[in-house]
Amino acid sequence: MSKLVLPHGSRELRPLLLEGPQREEERRKAERLKRVPMTTRETSDLIMLGIGAFTPLEGFMGRDDWRGCCETYSLPGKKGLFWPIPVTLSAADDLAGTIAVGEEVALWDVETESIMGTLKVEEKYSIDKEYECKQIFRTADPAHPGVQKVLGQVPVNLAGPVKVISESYYPEMFKGIYQRPAESRRLFEERGWNTVAALQLRNPMHNSHAYLAWIAIEVCDGVYVHQLVGKLKPGDIPAEVRVKAIDALVSKYFRRDRVIQGGYPMEMRYAGPREALLHAVFRQNYGCSHLIVGRDHAGVGNYYGPFDSQKIFQEIPEGALQLRPLCMDWTFYCYECGSMASMKTCPHESKAVIDENGKYQGGARLLLSGTLLRKLMSEGKPVPPEYSRPEVIAILKEYYDGLEEKVEVKLHGFATGEAKS
């Protein structure tokens, strides 16, 4: 019998992806149905539903569950199930007006021009988008990339159970990395792991990431380096480049029997604390007992405090999750200590000074962040060797050197250490 944590809200995974003859039959039926175009976020959420990562959800949320999720992290239609971020599908007014409650529709991925699944419409409703943004993102500022997505939704939400018939290009494009929860659980069990810490990554792996993972390995059976391969905002590094850079570091600097790499297809919402909770929910479905939560987890800009994503785990109802957070302090390279360190361990408080050629000029703490790394690389500036491994820097340099058009990367206070609360 498995000793891994149970899936969220269920004793077993509930994937909605059809297989074999059922999938082909549903695909043929879907060709005759009205098509509802999906955004990239909605498509990625549908795939997460399909592979069981969003267990025990059965489809896109209705109004009561949407509001309960926004207000109290709970879904009335699922007996108060804990859930931190809405999973909804929107449709244009003119299209929604032609769809009857009880009707089945095909879910159309605009990006790949393919049918991804079907939905039986149980409810049609509209939402207050600004209200959702303030609840989920703590802001309605249209400059926030997650807010932009919500404000850009078409007016009507369609709710109901789904049947999923495609995982899009992910299984082929990210072969060997892309995993369903059932696959990661099998890998953990084969290694005899009971406690597994998930390391969430949306950036290439720098030395702070590696340091957090090594700490987690000391207290758990192993670490699951779980990288997002879905869509990111402009200026972020493409998934295929990140996969290559992360593999270069993991393959050379980690014990192979203590680390497993995986990829998941969800699109980033940049919702900070709320998204940290969603990361915890689906990592529990993947079989992880712990989630590493470091500085500014799932954040963007200056919208959240650096440790708000840790604090929120103390604010949710007792027993809402089996998975527990591994809360890590601010980490950095200390020239006085001669090693990676954290605010809890290092007594040297001065900030390290690095010149424009990437050379150390004095001070102690070199604060590391994915945002700062992207900025240095995008501007062609030297990266201090303490920042990341040479194998990683070489891969990123090749990518940035090949860009015809540069995207400006803006720093915020938590990426540089200027903001501390």
Catalytic residue (one of 157, 180, 203, 374): 203
Strand partners, 285: none
Q: What angle do CA 344, 346, 351 make, to 5 degrees?
A: 115
Type of residue found at 263: G
> What are the residues whose beta carbons fall under 8 Å from the beta carbon of 39, sequence distance 6 or more?
90, 110, 149, 152, 153
Catalytic residue (one of 41, 180, 202, 295): 202
Beta strand extents in 1-61 (DSSP E only): 35-38, 59-60
202 given a catalytic annotation? yes
DSSP conformation letters of 271-299: -THHHHHHHHHHHHHTT-SEEEE-TTTT-
Q: Are strands 360-362 and 290-293 parallel, antiparallel or unpaired?
A: unpaired
The span from the CA of 359 to the CA of 302, in Å, is 28
Q: Are strands 156-164 and 59-60 parallel, antiparallel or unpaired?
A: antiparallel
Cβ atoms of 136 and 146 within 8 Å: the answer is yes
> What are the residues whose beta carbons fall under 8 Å from the beta carbon of 238, sequence distance 6 or more?
232, 399
User: Helical H runs in 52-112?
Assistant: 63-72, 93-96
Nearest to 118 by CA among 193, 28, 246: 28
- Which residue bears the tokens 């501390």? 420
The CA distances from residue 407 to 300, 313, 375, in Å, are 16, 34, 9
194 given a catalytic annotation? no
Q: How many CA atoms lie within 13 A of 135 on its CB side?
A: 18
- Which residue bears the tokens 């650096």? 306
Cβ atoms of 211 and 340 within 8 Å: the answer is yes
**Helices vs. strands in the chain: H and E counts, helices first:** 15, 19
What one-character DSSP code corresponds to residue 17?
A: B
Catalytic residues: 202-203
